[in-house]
Amino acid sequence: MSPLDIPRRLLERLGAADSVVVFTGAGMSAESGVPTFRGAEGIWSRFKPEELATMSAFLRNPQLVWDWYAHRRTIIATVQPNEGHRAVADLEHLVPRVAVITQNIDNLHRRAGSTVVHELHGNIERNYCVKCGAPHEMGSERASPEVPRCAMCGGLVRPDVVWFGELLPEEDWEAAVRAASGADVCISVGTSGVVYPAASIPAIARKAGALHADVNPEPGPLSEAADVFIKGLAGAVLPVLVQHLEKLRSRPDIAVPGEGR
């Protein structure tokens, strides 16, 4: 990516920012090889959501649902954070406050080094009991094909992810709204912007005065409302953004590169 592909307006706001929110979706992790939910090759193009990602489906056939999530965990365990994930983590060295708000459940942001991560749709590496709510550590059971049972009450153990029809985790959602409301810049990356209430995060940030930049291979609902749209993959765009921000932070007297828009 050429320096001229980064809008000057975004660089100037980032250079002066005290707080940045990065809002990520499935496209971010797709660059690491994690299958997406949507699109022609997405997970749900081959399976019906109501058969795999609802509480009623789990109670009706817990083994089927558990096997599906075990398969997804196996895939995620084989992939690594990409350059986009690592660039987001590097922002923490350049901006006083950086919060990642993600719709992804793969834990790649934390694995890349980000320390403030609000997971709106849960984390596939965690599990809990549907009966008593106690967290469940997999341990040696990772290799077992059977659905685990809670050591406390004997209830079924499910993945700690948000299924269709369920509310977002209250603590993470409230923290995400606070972060968005206090951000100087909000960067949305690799998200379709159609899954609510998560997709309202950029609008919350803009309402509070933040500049919103959308990074995506193709324009979508979020890019249409954004202050800045950068067409490209996270792994190509975000490292360049961080490189320019490093220069600005170390030499605030230098001219800001990029296009005048």
CA 55 to chain centre: 23
Three-state SS for 88-110 is HHHHHHCCCEEEEEECCCCCHHH
Fold designation for 1-34+81-121+167-250 = Rossmann fold (3.40.50)
Fold designation for 35-78+124-161 = SIR2/SIRT2 'Small Domain' (3.30.1600)
Predicted local distance difference test score (pLDDT) of residue 261: 45
Query: Which residue type sits at 161?
Result: V
In percent, the amount of the chain with pLDDT more than 70 equals 88
Predicted local distance difference test score (pLDDT) of residue 111: 97
Paired strand residues for 158: 128
Residue 44 or residue 233, greater confidence: 233
Sorted by where each begins, the domain ranges of the chain are 1-34+81-121+167-250, 35-78+124-161
Nearest to 156 by CA among 59, 48, 16: 59
d(CA 36, CA 48): 14
Q: What is the pTM of this model?
A: 0.90
Predicted local distance difference test score (pLDDT) of residue 194: 85
End-to-end CA distance of the chain, in Å?
17
Specify whether the CB–CB gap between 139 and 218 falls below 8 A.
no
Predicted local distance difference test score (pLDDT) of residue 62: 95
Active-site residues, by number, are 121
pLDDT, tens digit (0-9, with 9 covering 90-100), for 140-189: 445 567 899 999 999 999 999 999 999 999 999 999 999 999 999 999 99
Same fold, 1-34+81-121+167-250 and 35-78+124-161: no
Q: Is the pLDDT at 25 greater than 70, yes or no? A: yes
Measured between alpha carbons, how far is residue 45 from residues 35, 38, 41, 49, 57 in Å? 11, 7, 7, 9, 18
Specify whether the CB–CB gap between 192 and 115 falls below 8 A.
no
Query: Which residue type sits at 5?
Result: D
pLDDT, tens digit (0-9, with 9 covering 90-100), for 85-128: 999 999 999 999 999 999 999 999 999 999 999 999 999 999 99
Report the greatest alpha carbon distance in the chain. 64
Predicted local distance difference test score (pLDDT) of residue 40: 54
pLDDT, tens digit (0-9, with 9 covering 90-100), for 27-72: 999 999 997 765 555 565 667 777 789 999 999 999 999 998 998 8
pLDDT, tens digit (0-9, with 9 covering 90-100), for 244-255: 999 887 765 554
Place of tokens 């959308």: 214
